[in-house]
Structure 1
Amino acid sequence: MKKIKIHPLIIVGLFISSTANGLAVYRHYHDDRQTTVVFAVLCLLTLGMAVFGLIRNQKMN
């Protein structure tokens, strides 16, 4: 099966999404702890996907 590179704009979008989720964690920290946990998990998930995409694209070159 042929491996396909992840488009750089998708990786940039993941970094932007991770930053937005991180800012939501900061904004909701004192108000609602359950929302903070959800946004923190989303932040780590999108950041991990972006880093994985960068590593995968580097290995394919």
Structure 2
Amino acid sequence: MKKVKIHPLIIVALFINTWGNGFSSYRLYEDDRAAAIVLAVLCLFTLTLAIYGIIRNQKIKER
């Protein structure tokens, strides 16, 4: 089965989402710690997806 590359705009969108979640988490930390923790977890999750997408695209390119 042919592997499909992840479009670079999707990866950029994941980085923008990561930045937004991280910034919101930072702003909410004093007022609502539970929401800040949830946003921090989402930030780490989207960052992981973005990095995985970059690595996957590079491996597909090498083949």
CA RMSD for the aligned pairs? 0.4
Task: Name stretches of at least 5 consecutive residues in structure 2 with no aligned partner.
Answer: none
Q: Percent identity?
A: 61
Runs (4 or more) in structure 1 with deviation over 3 Å come to none
- Structure 1 counterpart of 2:33: 33
For residues 36-61 of structure 1, the C-alpha deviation after alignment (integer angstroms, 9 at most, x for no partner) is 11100100000000000000001111
- Structure 2 counterpart of 1:55: 55
Amino acid aligned to 1:21 = N
Q: How many positions carry a matched residue from both structures?
A: 61
Instruction: Give the TM-score, by structure 1 length.
Output: 0.97
